[in-house]
Structure 1
């Protein structure tokens, strides 16, 4: 029986791959046979992740990049394509969660959030799509959020929600434009998973009390619980799925 989730021979580029969800995504892809380009700013952390990936029997390629810099994005995609010959799968995962009440958000933090959470995914998608269009195949996965579709009363996530809402519409529009080229563009929408970005909320922000009200499962996500969604969108299992947001949230957005 054919394994629809088999990624043997595919090449994936994962941004934000030095920690948190990016590491989980990279491991999931590698565990199903994909070679992985690991992209982030912190080389030492990327090297550690690369060692784990290579232990799964596939190649890992480390490339440092400040995703707020468009020229670095262009150079990174060019470098990865030169190394592997192509990019089949793009996981746009790098992100920031700077938080402040809307009336107190600084100009600098707002613009930084836009650059990292919204502009960078567009520029990575644009650069990767050029090669995908030539080959007639590509899988682009954007990391959205539950805040792609809902706001938050308890925590001031206005800038973050704005970027993730914009990312959802970007996902839909790119899916529409690139479907004719054999490229699917989808998004995953995690609730709160343990990571550097969510540490303050999960460890001391009253998360348990909030989750008891807002999340039917009453807990944050666990390592591995995003793997199925990532593999679905990265593989031929999703050949007729594009422009979609799959929310992985323990029922958070169902109420």
Structure 2
């Protein structure tokens, strides 16, 4: 029977940026496969609302509202989870942001925000969690990259730069930490209907372009990312390391 390979019972997963969108969908999916969940974000009320929904469905959920762009806050927050809730077996680095404008007009302060939210947060949380995982000789880290780790389009060059960095940081984490029993991989979503993409979803012109550009001819649904996350979080991926798994309807296969 293959199912036990994907069983997450007895494992604890911290998912950053998980009060809505992809992060919430991944947290729910991991919970449905047996994991206890720690939701993370900066808005305590949104986290509690998301946690209630999961608890009402019968899942074990805690919340931790530290800021993933603050190195000290991340270290203290993860140490507190380890001390007060229990060991983090799975870390999903999902928190991130987007800002769209022509590169020649891109504000420097927005560049700095993107760097902190999209790549520094992955380093901060990955490092803080890995220090505990290394002591136990095991752990799973899943970084959320993007099709923009591979592709580019006008108006989002800095975002593209940060997601390319996530892909390569994933490789670097593998190079350093695989010998300690950790598996570090990334999921690269294509175009999914999320609050981050709402402006694009609402654009008939963009949606038409996307449907023509993507072999699957549609937007993705966030629940379609769950299988990849469960695979990378479970024993089924015990020898998969440093890999970026594109879940994109085939868009990266076509020029």
TM-score above 0.5, yes or no: yes
Unaligned runs of 5+ in 1: none
Cα distance in 1, alignment partners of residues 44 and 132 from structure 2 = 26
Report deviation, 1:209: 2.0
Name the residue aligned to 1:23: 24
| CA deviation map 1:179-205 (0-9, x unaligned) | 111100000010111111101111126
Match of 1:203 in 2: 202
Give the CA deviation at 1:54. 1.9
**TM-score, normalised via structure 2 length:** 0.96
Q: Structure 1-normalised TM-score?
A: 0.96
Task: Label 1:253 to 1:69 Cα distance change in 2 as closer, same or farther (>3 A).
Answer: same
Shift of 1:38: 0.4
Q: In the alignment, which residue of structure 1 is the partner of 2:142?
A: 141
Q: CA deviation at 1:213?
A: 2.9
Q: Which residue of 2 aligns with 1:63?
A: 64
Q: State the shift of 1:42 in Å.
A: 1.3
Residue-pair matches, total: 253
Distance, in Å, in 1 between the alignment partners of 2:234 and 2:23 is 17
User: Aligned residue for 1:226?
Assistant: 225
The match for 1:107 is 108
Kept after mapping to 2: 8 A contact 1:208/1:218: no
More helix by share: 2
Could you list the per-position Cα deviations for residues 120-158 of structure 1 after superposition, in whole angstroms to 9, with x for gaps in the alignment? 011100000001000001000000000001111xx4110
Distance in 2, matches of 1:53 and 1:212, equals 33
Alpha-carbon deviation of 1:16?
0.5
Structure 2, unaligned runs of 5 or more: none
Within 2, Cα distance between the matches of 1:84 and 1:58?
15
State the Cα distance separating 1:22 from its structure 2 match: 0.4
Indicate yes or no: 2:219 matched with 1:213.
Answer: no
- 1:30 and 1:56 in contact (8 A); partners too: no
Residue 85 of structure 1 deviates from its aligned partner by 2.3
CA gap of 1:149–1:11, structure 2 versus 1, over 3 A, is: same
Q: Distance in 2 between matches of 1:56 and 1:171?
A: 33
Work out the CA distance in 1 between the residues paired with 2:170 and 2:205.
32
Which residue pairs with 1:129 in the alignment?
130
Instruction: Please give the per-residue CA displacement for 1:14-34, whole angstroms capped at 9, x wherever unaligned.
Output: 000111000000001111111
Separation (CA, whole Å) in 2 of partners of 1:25 and 1:82? 24
- Within a 5 Å distance, the mapping from 1:1-255 to structure 2 comes to 1=1, 3-152=4-153, 155-204=154-203, 206-255=205-254
* Aligned-partner Cα distance in 1 for 2:136–2:204: 47
Deviation at 1:223, TM superposition (A): 3.2
The answer on whether the counterparts of 2:7 and 2:33 sit within 8 Å (CA) in structure 1 is: yes
Per the TM alignment, residue 70 of structure 1 is displaced from its structure 2 partner at its CA by 1.3
Q: Which deviates more from structure 2 when the two are superposed, residues 62-71 or residues 16-25?
A: 62-71
Contact 2:21 2:222 in 1 (8 A): no
